[in-house]
Structures are given as C-alpha cells and as structure tokens.
Structure 1
Amino acid sequence: MKPTSLILKNANLLDTRAGNIVGKRNIRIEDGIISEISAGSTKPADETLDVDGKVVMPGLCDAHVHVVAATASFPDLITWSPSYVAARSGQILSGMLMRGFTTVRDCGGADYGLAKSVEEGYLIGPRLLFCGHAISQTGGHGDMRGPGENWEECTCCAGLGRVVDGVPEVRRGCRDELRKGAHFIKIMASGGVSSPTDRIGNTQFSMDEIRAAVEEAEAAETYVAAHVYTARAANRALECGVRSLEHGNLIDDSTIDLLLEKEAFLVPTMSTHEALRREGLKNGLSEDMYKKVHEVVEAGHRTHSRASDRGVKMVFGTDLLGAMHEHQLTEFEIRSAFQSPAELIRSATVTAAELFQMEGQIGEIIEGAFADLIVLDGNPLTDIGVLQAPDRYLKAVIKQGEIFKSAL
C-alpha cells in the first residue's frame, strides 16, 4: 500500500539538468508528490526509508515502446485474443518498472484500458502514455496485409495501427484516437522493417495528409510523432509540423538543420535494430523483414552521432518487440559510443519530459514533481553501466510515492 507520506533519508541527489551529484538530501513525499527537499531534518512521515548515501535520481523514461508487442510478428499479433494481449502486456510493463522506468510512451497498440489498469493498480508498470493505434496509409507501415492478402483492412483494430487514406480519413482517424484518450498522435510517414509490403525508402502520406494530422493534434493541445527512416521522409514530416521523429537512421544534415530550426526531437531506437539483427528471426520476424534490418543498423550509428554532436534534442527510446524487451537498457550502452553519461541520463529524464509535455512533473527531483525515484548503489554519471545492471545496482523503485521495489 502506498504511504500517505514518505521520507527518503540521506539521499545522494543526482541533478539531471546540471549532470552532477548535489549531495545528501532528505526528500519528503506526500500523496505521491515531492513536497520538500531539505539538507536538514523534516517533520515525521508515515514511513522513512534511509538510503544511506546511495544515489537517488528520477525514474527513467522510454519514449518509444510497444507494450502489446509480445511478438515481433505484427501480422500474428492481430490474430491474438485481446485478453491474451493484455495479459502479455502486463508482464512486459512490470519488467520495465523493475528496470527503473517509471514513465513510458507507447507508439502503437496500447490503449485507455491498459493505461487505466496501470493507474489504478490492476497492472504493475510505468505510467503509460499512449497514441492508441498509429495512423497508416494503405500499404504503409501499419498495414499488415501481405501482397497476396485482399481482406478488407479493419480501420480501428488491426494490431498496432489503423489504415486511413485521404485528408478526411486522416482527420477522422486522429479525432477517434484522441476521443479514446490518446496522449499524442503517431503517424507512419515512411516504410519500415516490420511491415510486409513497403520499402524502407518509401515516403507515406501526402503533405496535406500529414498537415491534417498535425492540425488535429494541435487542436487537441498535443502533438504528432512520425515513424521515419530517410531524410526525404523526415524532412516532409518536419516541414508539416511533426514534433518528434522516431528512428531516423537514414537522415542527413538537411534533417538535422530542420530538427534544430523547428526545435523538434529525435528518438533513435538503436537497441531494437541491434536486437532484431541478432534475434529477429527467432522472435517472429519474417525473412523479408529481416533483410530490411541491415539497411538501417550501421547508418544509425553515423547519423545519430552526427545529430548528437550538433545539439539535436535526443530522447531515449527502444522500440523492442517480443522477448527482446529484456534488452531495454542496452540503449544506454549503444549510445555511449557518442554520448556522455550525463547526456544519456538527460535523454531519459528531462529531455523526455519536455517531449512528453510533462516538464516539472517528471524527469527531475524538484518540489511539486511526481515522486518517481530510483535508488542506485553506484554513480551512473561516472559509469553508465550502473543503469544497465538493475539486479546488481538498482536498490529501490518508487513511482508516484509508492515503493515497488526495495532491496535496501
């Protein structure tokens, strides 16, 4: 049961914005919110947890997950019973929380029911932000029909996506996902790895269709995230007002220029491409889909390093599928080739909060923020590996004031 008030005593605070350790503080939590941070004593609470000088930092954020994707085969996924999908999703969500993730953004498949189940405690997992079904054109990355399959594509329940064509259908699709509680809109603006009939280099949706999605999102005071790989697709999306680019392995300097000009975000998902290259076939990826993985892996290392060097706002995201969810923390290891530990931590905390439109609520330890905290027996600013081995270093996970793990 979540205590009404909780004190974390002798917490060695990690400042995610400054990228340093500020020293020992006492953190008072009331009704799931950080109410006081003090170097001295605080008034008594229902419960006190002495962390004995261990590092305390905000819970991690993953900006690109698919919690319903318990298989890498999306065509298979659409044949599963919804109750079976929910059960498998619960297992995926609890695993994320036990790795230290307290907020995740689902980019296709999760819905109001899953988010509400987590919020009310019927499922254990991170806070779940969702887009509902990703918006795809016919033959796009969200259309799971093979070239020989001619069944009518369901417009509202085809796995992770819904198929729409033309500006009126795009508007209707976006409005319907927002009606069902979506926190943002996701569009498929290029070809992808796990779809059967498109090529990586495809552009998808007309400019008018993309603008329609952006207009509908902005009318609802939210934003659009776009699945893209190439510079051509990415630039079209940015010109139309898309807020975040997902993947982006094949972008170039023209895209980076636009990302900076528009103050948009890049969400590389390098861990999924590495995992798919190693384990995709045994986790349900078809041979044709597997061949597409190799087009994007090596390119991603070059383009994302370049984007980081030029100051693009990069956010932590993984996009893992099936049994490959266990590799969620390897994103830190892969990106450490071109980002410092402080930059990596910001990508999974304050920069993610900015993208999510949740600044001041998550991503940093400040008064008034949600009490989403993890306790580490080590300093990830000097060794990012501390975040990659939760069984060894992660001693406590607290989400909105509730202790979900404690090994202190």
Structure 2
Amino acid sequence: MLERTMLKKTLLAALSALTLLPASALTQDAPTRTLFTNVMVWDGTSDSRTSADVLVEGNMIVGVGSGLSSSGATVVDGGGRTLMPGLIDMHTHIMFPRGLPDHENVWDAAASGAMAHENMSVYVNAGFTTLRDMCGSPSLSRAIAGGALSGPRMYSSGACISSYAAHADWAPQTAVLGQVSNHTRAGNSLVANSPAEYREAARFNFRQGAQFLKIFVGGGVASAYDPLESITIRPEELRAAVEVAEDFGSFVCIHVYHAEHIQMALDQGVRCIEHGFLMDEATMDRMVAEDIVLSAQAFMSYTAFQDPAGIPGFGPEQIAKGLQVNAGADQMFEWAAEKGVHMFAGSDMFTFDLLPSAILNVTQLERWFTPVQALRASTSAAGRWLGLTGPKNPYKAGPIGVIEEGAYADLILVDGDPTQSTEVLVDPDNVDMVMIDGRVHKDEIN
C-alpha cells in the first residue's frame, strides 16, 4: 500500500510539473536555420565557383540560389569567401595515432579511443567533415552517428581482415598458433585462414556496425611478415568475403599493390582498390572499363615514402618496402589522370606526427590533376562511394560531399579560392568555419 501511494504521488508531481512548462517545451523545437550570404559557392562537382546563397535547415541544405528568405535564420556573411563541401578523407587510421607498434605493445583500446577522439579535432580544424576509417572498431562510427560523440562523420570498415603472415597479423613473432594480437582484442584486425573463416569475420564486422569490408590481398609496407609481392589470400577466400558484403548490399575494398593481385581480386567481384601503386597499364585499363574505383594516397606514396626512414615505427624492412611503393606511384597517377579512372583520395595517415599533413594528400594531387579534380576526389567522388554502402549506410537522407538541395549540411568556409589552387587549404587558419550535420564546429568569423 505504501509503495502504491508513493508511486501515485510521484506521478502526480510529474504531471503537475508538465503543466508548468511552456508550450514550446511540450513540442519538438523547429529546426534551426542558417543562411550563408555573400559567398562564392563551389558545389563539389562544377568546374568553377558561382555567387549564390545557401540555406540550411536542421542538418540539410534546403536551398541554393539568390533571394532566399532569411526569416528565422542565423545569417552568416561570408565576406566573399568560398563555401564548399567539407573535405572527406577516404583512407584514415584513426585508431593508430601512435603507430602500429605502440598500439600493439603499449596502448589498450581505451587509450586508443581517447587518442582517436583527439585526432578528430585535428581533422575538423583542417576542414574535414567525414572520415573513412580503414581498420578499427565501428564503435566510434556508431557513437557519432547516434549523437553520443561529437566529431566528423565516420564510415568504418570494421576490423580489417587478413590471413596469418599478412598485413592484419600484428601479433609478435613470439606468438603461438592461435594467439591474437592486441589490435585484434581492440577490434582493429581479424585473422582468417579459410573461406568459412572469412565469411565468419565478414559477418561479424557487419554485425558490429561496419559499413563495408577491408581485406588484405597482398603484402603491406608497415607490417613485418609480408613482402609486397606476396599474395596473402586465396581466390575462394576473397570470394567468400565479397559474397557476404553483397548479401548486406555493400562492397569489399582491398589493400593491394601488384597488377596480378588486382586482376585476381577483380575476378572475384571486388569493386574498390586501395593503393595499387605497382599495377601495370593493362590493369588500369580494366579498372576504367569495369568502373572500378581507385582509392589513392598521393602524399603517403609519393612524398612520405621518398624518405620512409622518418616515419615512426619503420625499421629497415618497412623502409625498403616504402621506397618500392614510391618508385611506382608517379607512373600510376599519370595513368589515372590520363585514362580518367574513378578515384577518391585518402591520406593513409596513422600517427600524430603525420596527421596534420592529411590535407597535403589533396594538394599533392595537383602534380597530376587540376585543382578542381583534386577537390572532387575529396568531396563529391568520395561521397558518391560512401552512398553505395547500402542498408548499412547511417546517413541515408541525402548525399554527402556536394552543395545541393537535399544534401547533408557539411560545409566549410575558406578564405581564398581552392578551385585555383588547393594550397590555400594547407593552413587551417584559412578554414574559417566548419559545419557538420548543420552544426557549427569551428567559427572564426563570429
């Protein structure tokens, strides 16, 4: 009886409190409105900028043009600056800010996650509004999509998958058979050694919240046991992972360098090639003919690997492999520009020392491409492929990487004209405002 009386009093008190609230508190607040005026708009696809206003309501762009109503809107006078889509880094390792060895031997998942969140602030300050994490627990992606964490949008491959003695096998050489690495315990990598195990790992990743899969087909630069020439997966194993991705309406991206490895992967239904710096011309031609996308890391391959001895955690073997990749990068980019392969840009940055250079991955592309082509690789071209993650895509309401009615409001205001030279983006002080999902994360104007 006493419990029922107390419950009744509690409910009456709650109802009384509700009657004292203003009417606005009992209804959902109207979406916030922001009107950008006096800006030169580069929409992510066009060859040049145009003068236009852009109206944001809630987290979506609802108008692009002239004479847009400012009623109820916060007006941002851009002062003639460039308003463009936020940048997208399509190949980042947000969970390895101290490099692979330290996160295997020193830091656990909690410390890695805290460092990853610090990484996000560096990205946002530079104008990046979306990241594609290419080895790591999807938990950060889910937390951001669900509003539990603030930061750039994140698409996650989940744990990257390889066989033993391949690029995702980061256990020490003293490990016994079956011993997992710290990276595996943290959700960054999985080891599989049969078609059944690849299916299991792929399904587990999608269960955890991955939007697509990353599989290692050939050797890697930063790892210890796999020469670049080694093929580290059998065709039937790769096909098993591709089938799982197709079942989820998504796709597989592969880490790979050599032509014969790429050709085998395309035969198994792979649609996205990461790196590929040692491919031949015939393989590039096939990629163009079959509408395969190339994920290219210009700064890492062409600049950082000119002197890989300066990269934290690199020993003699990693240095030699970095130089090998560097030797093929220029030719691959020349073919990519000449033949018009579909391409987006990713930095492949994974240490605090290199992270501020992520923007150089965009500017470095001007060696082979026009400034606008370089920008598209980090905006609209990237956003198009993120949209192909199908039912697992956490952002289905509109496109990312463009300024158009119905697109997500991921915008940056830049002091200068990056369509003439992307060098203006190198200094983060030139990025005066960053809006992600309709919310301002950086504001140097007001």
Is the TM value for this pair above 0.5?
Answer: yes
Which of 342, 345, 357 is equivalent to 1:327? 357
Please say if 1:351 is aligned against 2:381: yes
Contact 2:305-2:326 at 8 Å conserved across structures: no
Q: What is the aligned counterpart of 2:426 among 382, 385, 388?
A: 388
Q: How does 1:13-28 map to 2 (within 5 A)?
A: 13-23=41-51, 25-28=52-55
Equivalent AA in structure 2 for residue 163 of structure 1: V
Match of 2:284 among 256, 263, 266: 256
Counterpart position of 1:7: 35
Residue of structure 2 aligned with 1:52, choices 79, 89, 114: 79
Contact 1:12 1:54 in 2 (8 A): yes
- In structure 2, what residue type is equivalent to 1:350? S
Contact 1:190/1:204 (CA < 8 Å) preserved in 2?
yes
Residue 283 (structure 1) shift: 1.7
Can you give the 5+ residue segments of structure 2 that lack an aligned partner in the other structure? Answer: 1-29, 389-395
> Which residue matches 1:292?
321
1:404 aligns with 2:441: yes
Separation in 2, partners of 1:401, 1:170? 39
Contact residue 3 and residue 46 of structure 1 kept, 8 A: no
Q: Secondary structure at the match of 2:49?
A: strand
Contact 2:109 2:186 in 1 (8 A): no
TM-score by length of 2: 0.86
Match of 1:204 in 2: 232
Letter paired with 1:127: R
Instruction: Give the alignment of 1:75-90 within 5 angstroms.
Output: 76-77=103-104, 79-90=106-117
Note the 1:6-405 alignment, pairs <5 A.
6-23=34-51, 25-74=52-101, 76-77=103-104, 79-111=106-138, 113-150=139-176, 152-154=178-180, 156-157=184-185, 160-273=188-301, 274-275=303-304, 277-278=306-307, 281=310, 283-323=312-352, 324-357=354-387, 360-391=398-429, 393-405=430-442
* Residues 308 and 282 of structure 1, relative CA distance in 2, 3 Å threshold: closer
Amino acid of the structure 2 residue aligned with 1:179: R
Q: Which amino acid aligns with 1:144?
A: W
Instruction: Provide TM-score, normalisation by structure 1.
Output: 0.94
Question: Could you tell me whether the CA contact under 8 Å between 2:293 and 2:342 is conserved in 1?
Answer: yes
User: Aligned partners of 1:143, 1:208: CA distance in 2, in Å?
Assistant: 20
The one-character-per-residue Cα deviations of 1:231-262 (angstroms, maximum 9, x if unpaired) are 11111112211121111110111211221122
1: CA distance, partners of 2:61 / 2:122? 25
Q: Percent identity?
A: 28
Deviations along 1:179-203, one digit per CA (max 9) or x if unpaired, are 1110001000100011111101111
Structure 1 residue 125 displacement after superposition: 2.3
Q: Say which structure is richer in helix.
A: 2
Provide, for residues 364-385 of structure 1, a one-character-per-residue CA deviation record: whole Å limited to 9, x for no partner.
1001100000101111111111
Verify the 8 A CA contact 1:167 1:212 in the aligned structure 2: yes
3-state SS, counterpart of residue 199 of structure 1:
coil
Moved more, 43-52 or 96-105: 43-52
1:11 deviates by 2.2
Change (3 A) 1:47 1:366: same
- Which stretch has the larger CA shift, 148-157 or 309-318? 148-157
Q: Structure 1, unaligned stretches of length 5 or more?
A: none
Is this contact kept in 1: 2:124–2:152, CA < 8 A? yes
RMSD over aligned Cα, in angstroms? 2.0
Instruction: Give the structure with higher Rg (CA).
Output: 2
**Could you list the per-position Cα deviations for residues 82-121 of structure 1 after superposition, in whole angstroms to 9, with x for gaps in the alignment?**
110111001111111111111111110142x212333355
Conserved in 1, the CA contact under 8 Å of 2:137 and 2:186? no
User: Given residue 408 of structure 2, which amino acid in structure 1 is its aligned partner?
Assistant: F
Partner Cα distance (2:292, 2:131) in 1:
19
Task: Write out the 4+ residue segments of structure 1 that deviate beyond 4 Å after TM superposition.
Answer: 279-282
Q: What's the offset of the Cα at 1:389?
A: 1.8
Residue-pair matches, total: 404
